[in-house]
Amino acid sequence: MGLSFIKYIPLIASLTKGFINNTKHDIKIKTFDKTKEKIDTMEHLLIKMEKKLGECRNEIEELRRQILFSRVINVILGMLLVFLVIFLR
């Protein structure tokens, strides 16, 4: 009876080795899945950042227009003031 157990040792060792290799492989797959999730998150944040950047560019362009308009008005008013001072003396 003791000899019948010895016959199964290679089979048990082979199954154990296969189980360990499969477990290692599953752990690696889970690691890759986490990497994929991180990449997806980074892509999502990049898209949000690009949208925000577009909004900021629009705001900057609008502010640039407003500043240019106010400068033109100030120059015109300054010229009027100088002409008024010169001609009303």
User: Per-residue pLDDT tens for 68-85?
Assistant: 999 999 999 999 999 999
pTM of the model: 0.51
Give dist(CA 21, CA 43) in Å, integer. Answer: 33
Report the number of distinct structural domains present in the chain. Answer: 1
% the chain with pLDDT above 70: 91
Q: What is the DSSP letter of 1?
A: -
Q: Is the dihedral of CA 85, 86, 87, 89 positive or negative?
A: positive
Q: List pLDDT tens digits, range 29-50.
A: 766 667 778 888 999 999 999 9
**In angstroms, how far apart are the furthest CA atoms of the chain?**
130
Confidence (pLDDT) at 76:
97
| Domain ranges, residue 52 | 2-87
